[in-house]
Structure 1
Amino acid sequence: MTLDKTVPDAATAVADIPDGASLAVGGFGLCGIPMVLIDALLARGSRELAVVSNNCGVDDWGLGVLLAAGRIRKMTSSYVGENKEFERQYLSGELELELTPQGTLAEKLRAGGAGIAAFFTQTGVGTQVAEGGLPQRYAVDGGIAVASAPKPVQRFEVRGELRDFVLEEAITTDFALVHAQRGDRHGNLVFEKSARNFSPLAAMAGRICIAEVEELVEPGEIDPDAVHLPGIFVDRVVEVGADVEKRIERRTVREEH
């Protein structure tokens, strides 16, 4: 048995992602997104995807390219404000959306990867997050076709005070796609600063995790203390090089004085 998890290219890495698959995808905005794998999945043609990611990219980059091609059936996200096509599809009833508070989304992914079925949190108590009624899919006439269901709420004593908590279920997906700065053949990954964001959590939640890395090194070249995600969570590694295109959503500069 070999521990070498490398595959020759991105097309090979995503070749078995079928129609209807669920995906956890790392990234925050356009920072740390696995764009090479996303492009490979676009080229493969997989449809009816259920994607869990903090957001859905922008109209022409990130997960937005899959959305524009009509490949995504449902998004589970915490922020969707940078994509006009997302807005159009959601309001027209073409796209299902499960809006989730950002910290809750992170913990749902982490819990799924850790084998925890559900957890209680105060986030969302007293709102539609807990009480239900959030529009998940609109009808063609603008009415609500599918609304979120109420979630169990339970009271616990915390530091001598009774507080309400809402039960949130963990997330696991069929596949996970992440981008890392460095990785070795065993799948140990190192992320670059804020590009780490949701990626370790998404990787943990996927039953099959596919990682694109800018630099592939041999086992032992990464200091164990520097590993951000152990290879036990990673199933495939593809080297994409350091010259991959990286975009930002908005650039703001001050006038020179």
Structure 2
Amino acid sequence: MGHDTLTAVYFRHVFFAERTFDRIAVKVPLETAMDMRRHSVLLRQQADGFLLLFDTDVFDRQELLREKLTLTFDLELKDPLFYNYTDFSQADIRKSFLLFSNNQEHTAGTLHHEALVSGADVYQLKPEDRFFIKPFARIVLELTPDLETRYEIRFAARATRWRYFLMSENLTSLSEPAIIDATGKVQFGDPEPVDLPGKTGLYMFTSDIPLELTLKNKYTFQLVDNSKIVISTLPTPDISRISTAVTGNSELFSEIFLY
């Protein structure tokens, strides 16, 4: 018995860059499992997606695709911080999920409308929809002759304005502190006096633009005092710490505390 690839679906995330995005599990609903069994189709889970395999002793690929099967797969999110570092609009998570399919308008090589997952891929639940456990997302694959051999689902990384706080006495006593970008691409404002609960007389620096969150630090920020380097490589934000500032436009800030 031989098997060959019918199609493959892989999950990608800008936040993880070249690293494997392994935060999604694939579940097969009963009806799809029965259809797959009847047509000798197997699912092989991967860390970052899945393969659909067909039995070459039973069908050739084009013959199977003429059967016009529709297969549904539910996706389960395994990372509680996913929404902290992911950028797309989903107003009410409790009453919606992401819907990916090759039977709707989609960017070539993907199962979503735009180059990256967006609000256009959010499906709002209807009164007649019933789920024992609502999925994070659902994939609907129509097995037709134009089925591609590979698809990707690509998530964008969230961008926030970064705030560095000088917390220790050594740092708050610097005479002319500044945060600089060695590449010159990002600017930080002048130090702003700020008081935090239980600690006063601190200083804060804020980036002039939102910066994309990444697992691997791609920025070269330094803390200097009178042009002398105090901290040569500043840390990146903790993705569990994202706040919404009261600025009138719901800006997102990542707060980083330096000691």
Q: Per the shorter chain, which TM-score range?
A: under 0.3
TM-score (normalizing by structure 2) = 0.20
Higher strand share: 2
Computing the radius of gyration from Cα coordinates, the structure with the larger value is: 2
- So what's the TM-score if we normalise by structure 1? 0.20
**Structure number with higher relative contact order (C-alpha < 8 Å, ≥ 6 residues apart):** 1
Q: Which has the higher helix share?
A: 1
